[in-house]
A and B are shown apart, each in its own frame.
Chain A
Amino acid sequence: MRSIDADILAELARTQYTEFKAVKFSIGGSDYCYTDADVPIVIDGTRYEPRGFKLSNLSYSQANIVTRGNIEMENLDDVFSSLFVGSTVQGSTVEIHSIIYFDSDPPDSTIVFEGTIDDWSLDEERVTITVASVLQRWSQRTINNYGPSCRWKVFKGTECGYTGGATTCDRSYQRCVDLGNQDNFGGFRWLPSIQDKPIWWGQKPAI
């Protein structure tokens, strides 16, 4: 569960309160901070400038983790055009904050969502940014499956590299040894030996 300051929770529980959203982009070593408040707000030395934006569709996965969110930023002054068009912003860090205004104390904020820029689109008025959670990387699909047999599709192909006179190969390590081409063997021949074995990080657990 996310830990949020008790004062912020108490303020949110009131019938009436003042809250703003803020976003912080970290692109190319510089921070770009904006709020949907009507005036600039400074929290912990970070100044958030007023700029129109909308947050939508913070989607949660079964694991109770925000995986994606969409931010639609006002771009009538082309602030984002040069920033986004002129560089590769995919992978840049994005934080979405909730800023709470108290009656007497200085404003405080808490992070609602953080992730990286996944994709974006730009037009004359706005830039629409999809932010993906860093945890989403756990569920990425691989482009290759690995097995104990050689995975090169073409015998004598680029990856195989065999140039001798043999015409057949059964993709076993022994055949590769017989052909003197074991340096290019494309399989992981020890995989069967670790199948169904427990895997641990750090020190071997006591049995």
Chain B
Amino acid sequence: MAKYPTNSEVPRRNPEAVTIRQKTLTSQFDDNGREKRRRKWLYPKRDVSVVHEGLTKAQIATLYDFYMARSGSYEAFSFFLTLSNTYTGEYVGTGDGTTVSFDLPAVNSATYKLYVSAVEQDEDQGIILTESVTQANTTLTMADGSAAADFSDAGVFAAGNYMVVTDSGGREAKGWFGTLAGTEMPVMSARGGATQNWESVDVAFDGDDEDGYTVEVYNFRDYALEAGGGADGADKVTFFVAPNDGSQITYDFTGNLKIRGRFLEDNMTYETFYDRIVNTGLQIRGLLNDE
């Protein structure tokens, strides 16, 4: 994996010229004035033409070294557009039933939505409640400091959330929230399961600890997003359950688009390369996000 030098490292003309490529077969039998069209790509590809401005010799060398390190058009790399924009339905990847982490075609993601087979996914909020509970407590105090828990906080006491109870010796009991029934929240052994029990209880967990417990509630949803956590500094998504084999993952977001690409040309003299980067534009051939 490699990343094209950023705008701050080597200044470039902003915004970059981006050409969107689709592939459509159109019928050649058009004597009747009608035509048939067949789409051959599900997702578009983007070609980029980059022009740099006000370069120093060192910055030119940086670009040339990057070109040489890619072996011309051989090795793919990531290119981040300078201008932040809003994008819809960008291809992330295709699930295989086991892979849970995917690099997103974005960095600095904001107001985003993630879809698996066109179904919007819920984002994981991580730990949403941490409380110390005394031995005498039979209820939890809410994170906002309000009165003792009455299970009215639907965000915390929601089916599918996860609870970890730690005794004073650091031993844990873990389980999933089931469906609230009156004032009782059942703990289930599996997410969405039917068996009311702990998922796991550490050996020697003290069920009557006079020093009290720490209770953490996790909002485990469909996925967690890690800003800049992917390859080449792209944002990364990790699913709680691996998307099914063949399910396509798409992403709506506002941010800087990441384009996977490779140099178009294999053969260039240094003079030609210089002409490309300051005048006619260095051509980058776009690929899909998972290539």
Residues of A within 8 A of B (CB): 15-20, 36-43, 45, 47, 101
- A16 contact from B39, B41, B42, Cβ within 8 A: B39
Q: Is B31 an interface residue (CB 8 A)?
A: no
B40–A17 touching, CB < 8 Å:
no
B72 to chain A minimum Cβ distance, whole angstroms, is 16
B29 to chain A minimum Cβ distance, whole angstroms, is 13
A17–B245 touching, CB < 8 Å:
no
* Known interface pairs A47-B96, A47-B246; A39-B42 also in contact (CB < 8 Å): yes
A39–B35 touching, CB < 8 Å:
no
- The prevalent SS among residues of A at the interface is strand
B116 to chain A minimum Cβ distance, whole angstroms, is 13
18 chain-A/chain-B pairs, Cβ below 8 angstroms: A15-B36, A15-B37, A16-B36, A16-B39, A17-B38, A18-B39, A18-B42, A37-B41, A37-B42, A38-B40, A38-B288, A39-B42, A39-B91, A41-B246, A42-B246, A43-B246, A47-B96, A101-B39
A45 to chain B minimum Cβ distance, whole angstroms, is 8
Distance, CA A16 to CA B36, complexed state (A):
6
B42 to chain A minimum Cβ distance, whole angstroms, is 6
A47–B245 touching, CB < 8 Å:
yes
B145 to chain A minimum Cβ distance, whole angstroms, is 48
What residues of chain A lie closer than 8 Å to B43, measured between beta carbons? 38-39
Seed contacts A38-B42, A38-B288, A39-B42; 18 additional CB < 8 Å A-B pairs: A15-B34, A15-B36, A15-B37, A16-B38, A17-B37, A17-B39, A18-B38, A36-B40, A38-B40, A38-B43, A39-B91, A39-B94, A40-B96, A40-B246, A41-B246, A45-B245, A47-B246, A101-B39
B35–A40 touching, CB < 8 Å:
no
A16–B40 touching, CB < 8 Å:
no
Distance, CA A41 to CA B43, complexed state (A):
13
Interface string of B75-99 (1 = CB under 8 A from A): 0000000000000000100101000
Q: Tell me the number of A-to-B contacts counted with CB atoms below 8 Å.
A: 45
B204 to chain A minimum Cβ distance, whole angstroms, is 46
Distance, CA A18 to CA B36, complexed state (A):
11
Interface residues of B in 40-56 (CB under 8 A from A): 40-43
B36–A39 touching, CB < 8 Å:
no
Distance, CA A18 to CA B39, complexed state (A):
5
Residue of B nearest to A50 (CB): B288
Q: Is B101 an interface residue (CB 8 A)?
A: no
A39–B38 touching, CB < 8 Å:
no
Distance, CA A16 to CA B42, complexed state (A):
13
What residues of chain A lie closer than 8 Å to B39, measured between beta carbons? 16-19, 101
Interface residues of B in 5-41 (CB under 8 A from A): 34-41
What residues of chain B lie closer than 8 Å to A18, measured between beta carbons? 38-39, 42
Residue of A nearest to B118 (CB): A104
Interface residues of B in 148-176 (CB under 8 A from A): none
B52 to chain A minimum Cβ distance, whole angstroms, is 31
What residues of chain B lie closer than 8 Å to A15, measured between beta carbons? 34-37
A65 to chain B minimum Cβ distance, whole angstroms, is 26
What residues of chain B lie closer than 8 Å to A42, measured between beta carbons? 245-246
* Known interface pairs A38-B288, A41-B246; A19-B38 also in contact (CB < 8 Å): yes
A38–B37 touching, CB < 8 Å:
no
Interface string of B247-291 (1 = CB under 8 A from A): 010000000000000000000000000000000000000001000
B36 to chain A minimum Cβ distance, whole angstroms, is 6
What residues of chain A lie closer than 8 Å to B38, measured between beta carbons? 16-19
What residues of chain A lie closer than 8 Å to B35, measured between beta carbons? 15
What residues of chain A lie closer than 8 Å to B40, measured between beta carbons? 20, 36-38
Name, among A39, A47, A101, the residue most crowded by chain B CB atoms within 10 Å (CB to CB).
Answer: A39
Question: Ordered nearest first, which 6 A-B pairs have the shortest CB separation?
Answer: A42-B246, A18-B39, A16-B37, A40-B94, A38-B41, A42-B245
B93 to chain A minimum Cβ distance, whole angstroms, is 8
B135 to chain A minimum Cβ distance, whole angstroms, is 53
A178 to chain B minimum Cβ distance, whole angstroms, is 74
B248–A39 touching, CB < 8 Å:
yes
Residue of A nearest to B247 (CB): A42
Distance, CA A39 to CA B91, complexed state (A):
10
What residues of chain B lie closer than 8 Å to A19, measured between beta carbons? 38-39
A189 to chain B minimum Cβ distance, whole angstroms, is 62
Distance, CA A40 to CA B91, complexed state (A):
12
A29 to chain B minimum Cβ distance, whole angstroms, is 21
Interface residues of B in 93-111 (CB under 8 A from A): 94, 96
Name, among B39, B43, B94, B246, the residue most crowded by chain A CB atoms within 10 Å (CB to CB).
Answer: B246
What residues of chain A lie closer than 8 Å to B246, measured between beta carbons? 40-43, 47
